[in-house]
Structure 1
Amino acid sequence: MSDSALSIAFNPAGIQLDPKKGLSRQLYHALRERVLDGRLSSGARLPASRDLAAALGISRNSVVRAYDQLYAEGFIEGRIGDGTYVAQLPDKSALPKKLSTNLSTGFSTGLPTGLSTKIPVLPVITSSKVIHSSALHKVARHSLDLPPSGPPRAFRVGVPAFDLFPFDVWSKLQAGFWRKPDLQQLCYGDPAGDARLRGLIAAYLRASRGLSCTAEQILITCGAQQGISLCAQLLVEPGEGVAVENPGYHAAAQAFAIAGAQVLGVPVDQEGMRCDLLARLANCRLAYVTPSHQYPSGVTLSLARRLELLDWAEHTQGWIVEDDYDGEYRYSGAPLSPLAALDRQGRVIYVGTFGKVAFPALRLGYLVLPNALIEPFAQRRSLDMRHSEVSTQAVMAEFMASGHFQRHIRRMRRAAISRRNALMAHWPQGVEGLGDLPAIAAGLHVTVAVSSLEREQALLAQANEVGVEINGLSRYWLHHSTEPVDNRAGLVLGFAAVPEADIKSALARLSRVWQ
């Protein structure tokens, strides 16, 4: 079929674009919706960018930017010398059906009886079966490694360039709030959070992430971790399975374990969580994922896997907790749309945080909740701590409304790119057992392969001797993982915490001791 015939079938005339708004973003949304609702089927050829631009009466650059974003999110694919096509997406009829008939579709809003001192072993699944362990470890207290404190060093993970935060602006806004506070704001507040801040967050997510949500769906939290803990308290019954990525974010797995869940580690490959293995799990109706930038591997959950995951949640009447911890940091094109933007069944809880844009001590995050969960989550949070601290919410609202927030995000993204480039330019070469530094397209950290666990530990010890802070990839795996030990080895480095000069200095010291 010719390009012109395909263009007619594609019907670009049905796309209405407002020239007063972002043309490339509007076109991206229009094409994306046509792929998702089937009007553009898998394998369909798209018009050349020049032809589509002429048909719509817009610049070719606008079409190219829309195509680039669709390509980054996996909606389309390029074939060398043969044009642009809609990606091959999973056939819904071939996706796994509900595996168990005894899964509850409700959720508990009651208070837990207390934290158990019996913490279950966290089993993992392999490609063929679930490895269960019935052993319960009696411990006096539930331990978890706390994040390092003190001034950040190279290469601390999970810390943004908060040396660039506009503290002068923040302090003026804070002083302005307390100079003549609204007496209403000094009373007990809404447990869901400051109404103005919630509205601004919803508007920000609609504009920057394509996430259609309202202020009523936003619940303010004390950071992302509290949001994850609320999900564990309300969405999991004792003994139920919860799927987490392996390797992954341990603090999330521990939050679900404390709530009484059987935590099941699902392997991650170059397309993200293995959804085919997730579908084999019985009595599991909640999955925790980091789809935009998997923690710690850095891979992006492919579009096909996203649709599989959503289908799994629909068939099991389960929940997906999406942690978008560093979604602002994408270094080519716009930030990827979250999994929640594809959700049509109200199965995704979106977890966001200001800690990766401002500074960790701010302790300000939020959830985007499906309508059915808004009231129980707000009530549960009110029993924990009534509401978040009022002045911080009010100041952040003014910070966003005045345009400082978007300007700061742009500044932070530029800084992260510059610091990433310093890492790439000065990375030690030819170190025994150390893999090549991979491309870094998003996020604030990078993971580098190491040949063996023994070599990983040696490199970490040498780095520590010269005052360089690096995490071993082995610490991100669940304790009872069946993956061969040497396959778990690697180095995880955060590159945004310190300026370029400190990065160069740290890499010079590493080069000396590693060689």
Structure 2
Amino acid sequence: MRTSVLSDWLAQRLERGGGQPLYRQLHHLLQQAILSRELPAGSKVPSSRLLAAELGIARNTVTQVYEQLVLEGYVHSASGRGTFVADSAPDEIVGASGVEHTPLVLSALSPAALAPLAPLTPLAPLPPAVTQTLSQRGTRLVAGAGVSKRQGGAFMPGVPDVTRFPARVWARLHNKYWRRLRPDLLTYAPGGGLALLRHVLADYLRTSRSVRCAPEQIIITTGIHQSVDLAVRLLTDPGDLIWTEDPCYWGVRSVLHVSGLETRPIAVDDEGINPSPDDLQHPPRMMLVTPSHQYPLGMVMSLARRRMLLEYARQQQCWIIEDDYDSEYRYGSRPLASLQGLDTAGQVIYVGSFGKTLFPGLRMGYLVAPEGLAERFATASAELYREGQLLQQAMLAEFIAEGHFTSHIRKMRALYGQRRGALLEAVAQRYGTALPTLGGDAGLHLVLQLPPGVDDRAVAMAALERNIVVRALSGYYAEASRAAPGLLMGYACVPDEEIAPAFSVLADALDVTLKGIR
């Protein structure tokens, strides 16, 4: 193939001064020419000096492209002989019509071959046999995903105010550990996590949450999702029955769905999860509860209900996962003791996270395993997840030991309590008692109850069009027929002065729907 033919073909497709750099365009064109056999296997490509001169571009650009193609295996260099297209393509390429494809450069002297094309032709879509390969559980997971593209602003639930995090203290600890770098902090984490963090965390949980645990029972994870996943993998088999609260957190429900468990949603009342006589006749292998602050409705599980669940679990030999969601943030009363602290049979797995108390991007949580299973939990965690982040674990351990963690929680509890009050006041000023709120005594959000018949998902979409993020309460229920309409409104990450104006915008969107049902 003559160099001038290739140069003309490339020149007609390069966009000078376009959105894509010349390097990327040239690499793409040569790559596609080789894949489609425009440049046949074994053909020699022009020298970088010659091709650069004919295209009128810098030689360094061509050299870079050639080097990249060599690394990717498209071409190879022969010392003293030049650069050649690698012999890695199939002997013939047959199109969808069954007709063998003729390489363009081999017929490049025809006018049709040199017709102008878009400089970066998109790759052809993959055939259905390749694209439609999700498993049933994968399809179900993606279809039911509740994750939001927005992770902040009014009124995103469950997001703390990361701007108030004591960054200087964290930076000091970060610099300290990098200056005195220990090689053992750069490798995989030992089973269960860094020993120092497990010790200080055990002290904290015993003091603040009445959790009964030794450091060896604590397993450091990446958060609630991984903690639940680990417990489910070790203590259940596909097809086992698990009770979940209804409504419940959609993220944990997704973890359970892909695990192959049979989930049974159990309605909640003012005292928490409330299994019916029929439910009690079908003992689960495991149940997942949020006793200190039910998510999303916010009620606290009564002592009587806690004792009933623990006795039932003891009699039926089933496990309880206690998700201690937002337990540190109670307004007007002290944080409540954990369910795990009442457990005398060793059947409660306690899970928590630093995502709300520090910052979500830390991606660090913990699981307290029953004493007799702790070593096996640690082994399984290391086997399944190959954890690391030992530097961050060391920093967090010192952050807690120096008192910064509890100090930060105290400050944020006061701040969030103030913002909670501002949001409750904004609701009252607009609606009086017409739209009650739930869950305002704790946590980082409250629920605005809506009248029956209101489409809370439509309200959430209308609010999003006005740059306000809320979550529809109905989406947290397992079955639409039992769902109650409402809006989850997070206040933690909203500056005080923005709460009232933002709620006014939300209320304007809501009023359109309310007028339609009156």
Please tell me the residue identity of whatever aligns with 1:170: W
Indicate the residue corresponding to 1:411 in structure 2: 411
Distance 2:277 2:493 in 1: 36
Verify: 1:337 aligned to 2:337, yes or no. yes
Superposed CA offset, 1:377-432 (max 9, x none):
11211122222311110000111111111110111101110110110122265659
Superposed CA offset, 1:130-184 (max 9, x none):
xxxxxxxx94865442533456111101111222101111111111111112233
Q: Is the 8 A contact 1:209 1:338 kept in 2?
A: yes
Indicate the residue corresponding to 2:488 in structure 1: 492
Q: Is the 8 A contact 1:275 1:308 kept in 2?
A: no
What secondary structure, in the 3-state scheme, does the structure 2 residue paired with 1:492 have?
Answer: strand
Q: 434-443 or 194-203: which moved more?
A: 434-443
For residues 12-411 of structure 1, the aligned pairs below 5 Å read: 117-119=135-137, 139=139, 142-145=142-145, 147-150=147-150, 152-277=152-277, 279-282=279-282, 284-411=284-411
Distance 1:300 1:309 in 2: 14
What secondary structure, in the 3-state scheme, does the structure 2 residue paired with 1:454 have?
Answer: coil
What secondary structure, in the 3-state scheme, does the structure 2 residue paired with 1:400 have?
Answer: helix
Distance 1:262 1:336 in 2: 31
1:504 corresponds, among 492, 500, 503, to 500
Change in CA separation of 1:214 and 1:468 when aligned onto 2, cut-off 3 Å: same
Indicate the residue corresponding to 1:469 in structure 2: 469
Please tell me the residue identity of whatever aligns with 1:117: S
Distance 2:387 2:139 in 1: 32
Distance 1:284 1:457 in 2: 32
Distance 1:339 1:439 in 2: 19
What secondary structure, in the 3-state scheme, does the structure 2 residue paired with 1:264 have?
Answer: strand
Q: Is the 8 A contact 2:444 2:491 kept in 1?
A: yes
Distance 2:142 2:150 in 1: 24
C-alpha deviation, 1:445, in angstroms: 1.1
Change in CA separation of 1:260 and 1:513 when aligned onto 2, cut-off 3 Å: closer
Distance 1:152 1:179 in 2: 34
Please tell me the residue identity of whatever aligns with 1:155: F
Please tell me the residue identity of whatever aligns with 2:355: G
Distance 2:398 2:252 in 1: 31
TM-score by length of 2: 0.69
C-alpha deviation, 1:503, in angstroms: 1.1
C-alpha deviation, 1:482, in angstroms: 4.5
Distance 1:140 1:440 in 2: 33
Superposed CA offset, 1:209-236 (max 9, x none):
1222110111000111110111121111
Note the residue ranges of structure 2 that are not aligned, 5 or more in a row.
1-132, 512-518
Q: Is the 8 A contact 2:324 2:350 kept in 1?
A: yes
Change in CA separation of 1:184 and 1:513 when aligned onto 2, cut-off 3 Å: closer
Higher relative contact order (CA 8 A, sep 6+): 1
Note the residue ranges of structure 1 that are not aligned, 5 or more in a row.
1-114, 120-137
Q: Is the 8 A contact 1:213 1:368 kept in 2?
A: yes
Change in CA separation of 1:253 and 1:277 when aligned onto 2, cut-off 3 Å: farther
What secondary structure, in the 3-state scheme, does the structure 1 residue paired with 2:280 have?
Answer: coil
Q: Which runs of 4+ in 1 moved over 6 A?
A: none
Q: How many residues in Structure 1 have an aligned counterpart in Structure 2?
A: 379
What secondary structure, in the 3-state scheme, does the structure 1 residue paired with 2:226 have?
Answer: helix
Change in CA separation of 1:143 and 1:389 when aligned onto 2, cut-off 3 Å: farther
Distance 1:281 1:361 in 2: 42
C-alpha deviation, 1:354, in angstroms: 0.4
What secondary structure, in the 3-state scheme, does the structure 2 residue paired with 1:275 have?
Answer: coil
Change in CA separation of 1:429 and 1:209 when aligned onto 2, cut-off 3 Å: same
Is the radius of gyration larger for structure 1 or structure 2? Answer: 2
Distance 2:215 2:445 in 1: 31
C-alpha deviation, 1:439, in angstroms: 6.6
Please tell me the residue identity of whatever aligns with 2:267: P
What secondary structure, in the 3-state scheme, does the structure 1 residue paired with 2:454 have?
Answer: helix
Change in CA separation of 1:281 and 1:247 when aligned onto 2, cut-off 3 Å: farther
Change in CA separation of 1:500 and 1:277 when aligned onto 2, cut-off 3 Å: farther
Change in CA separation of 1:249 and 1:414 when aligned onto 2, cut-off 3 Å: same
Superposed CA offset, 1:442-477 (max 9, x none):
111111211134342443243223211111111001
Distance 2:365 2:294 in 1: 19
What secondary structure, in the 3-state scheme, does the structure 2 residue paired with 1:292 have?
Answer: coil
Distance 2:136 2:457 in 1: 31
Change in CA separation of 1:464 and 1:371 when aligned onto 2, cut-off 3 Å: same
Paired-residue identity, %? 37
Change in CA separation of 1:453 and 1:308 when aligned onto 2, cut-off 3 Å: same
Q: Is the 8 A contact 1:471 1:491 kept in 2?
A: yes
Please tell me the residue identity of whatever aligns with 2:307: L
Distance 1:345 1:360 in 2: 33
What secondary structure, in the 3-state scheme, does the structure 2 residue paired with 1:294 have?
Answer: coil
Distance 1:187 1:433 in 2: 57
Q: Is the 8 A contact 2:325 2:352 kept in 1?
A: yes
Change in CA separation of 1:141 and 1:358 when aligned onto 2, cut-off 3 Å: closer
Please tell me the residue identity of whatever aligns with 1:442: A
Distance 2:216 2:319 in 1: 19
Change in CA separation of 1:234 and 1:412 when aligned onto 2, cut-off 3 Å: same
Q: Is the 8 A contact 2:141 2:258 kept in 1?
A: no
Distance 1:436 1:389 in 2: 44
Distance 2:140 2:242 in 1: 24
